[in-house]
Amino acid sequence: MFADRQNKERIIRLIFLLAASISILILSLIVVFLFMEGLPIFREVSIRGFLFGREWYPTSDPPDFGIFPLLTASFAVTLLSAMVAIPLGVMTAVYLAEIASRRVRQIFKPVVELLAALPSVVIGFFGMVIVAPYLQRTFDLATGLNLFNASLMLAFMSVPTITSISEDAIYSVPAELKEASLALGATHWETIIRVILPASLSGVSTAVILGMSRAIGETMVVLMVAGGAAMIPTSIFDPVRPMPASIAAEMAEAPFRSEHYYALFATGMVLFLFTLVFNVIADYIAQKHKQVGAATL
């Protein structure tokens, strides 16, 4: 009987190993294909010229393949959306987990999770039809389709993910920690800041990583509300074209295996590396704060 149990455990381990190996293999094949289709553009333009060129006119004669405006737009949209989504998402999670009554939590928690399931095209329509005219009238702009609008919509997409996962992490902090803090004379607010949040920081960091990773690679929203102008923004109200929007807008028009086609795949390579670097940095910060929080406790 003991031998049968060992055999079952060995089979289960092999199944999980196979599933993980298949996932890694698929990801590796995607990366290899991306680099195979993107690297040929560097026979026509240098890496420096591609990354730091300020002109993106792939169909002109001669063409210009500088993605610096697209790269800057992606970075600006992600940064601004993070400045809105992270505080709002974490504070909402704290409210639901520690301040709201049980009835309020039972009502609002499913609503937040339903918001996370909204299709990105619906959020894009909301940005085009409601937010863009409002911004245009309020700030007297030439167009409401701009960097600020795109950042708001990406933040709106990220907040439910950050809130839902952060709330679960905060709610799962052992009650003994909270009770011990209150017993020592700390207020509820001091307990939240000095005990509960440090104890749940690893889960909150994971929520932030997942939420912002969705924002970085989002295509439909930025395609619809960012304005579509391949220019370096000088204001949050300038129209921009992030890298995902450029790829989605131009791939169908690029002749197969042309310079334009290779340039779009190379842009995808840069977007992949951009996302990878963000996740590595965010994971490092999460692990660092996890160790600090554990030491504080």
Q: Which amino acid is at 81?
A: S
Mean pLDDT, rounded, for 116-139? 90
For residue 160, give both structure tokens.
Answer: 């439910």
pLDDT band at 267 (very low <50, low <70, confident <90, very high): very high
Q: Is the pLDDT of residue 155 over 70?
A: yes
State residue 2's pLDDT score. 61
- Tell me the pLDDT band of 197, cut-offs 50, 70 and 90: confident
| Helix (H/G/I), strand (E/B), else coil: 240 | strand
Q: Is the pLDDT of residue 292 over 60?
A: no
Tell me how far apart the alpha carbons of residues 218 and 212 are, in angstroms, rounded to a whole number.
10
Mean local confidence (pLDDT), 36-41:
92
Residues in contact with 76: Cβ distance below 8 Å, sequence separation at least 6, in sequence order: 147, 151, 233, 236, 240
Please give the pLDDT value at position 1.
60
pLDDT digits (tens, 9 = 90+) for 59-73: 888 888 999 999 999
Q: Is-contact 84 151, C-beta < 8 A?
A: yes
Q: Among 215, 223, 263, which residue's Cα sits nearest to residue 240? A: 223
Q: Which residues, 6+ apart, have CB-to-CB distance to 179 below 8 Å?
A: none
> Residue 21 pLDDT > 70, yes or no?
yes
What pLDDT does 282 receive?
72
Preceding omega of 62 cis (within 30 degrees of 0)? yes
pTM of the model: 0.84
**pLDDT level of residue 171 (50, 70, 90 thresholds):** confident
In the DSSP assignment, the letter for residue 255 is: P
Say if residue 289's pLDDT is above 80: no
Residues 88 and 107: their CA atoms lie apart, in Å, by 19
pLDDT at 107 over 90: no
pLDDT of 101: 83
Looking up tokens 């499913």 gives 110
**Could you tell me which residue, 290 or 33, shows the higher pLDDT?**
33
- pLDDT bucket at 286, cuts 50 / 70 / 90: low
In the prediction, which pLDDT does 153 show?
93
Check: CB of residue 214 under 8 Å from CB of residue 86. no
Q: Would you state the structure tokens that stand for residue 14, as one six-digit string?
A: 């092999």
Question: Are 81 and 151 a contacting pair, CB within 8 Å?
Answer: yes
User: What's the token pair of residue 16?
Assistant: 């999980």
Copy the structure tokens of residue 46.
């240098």
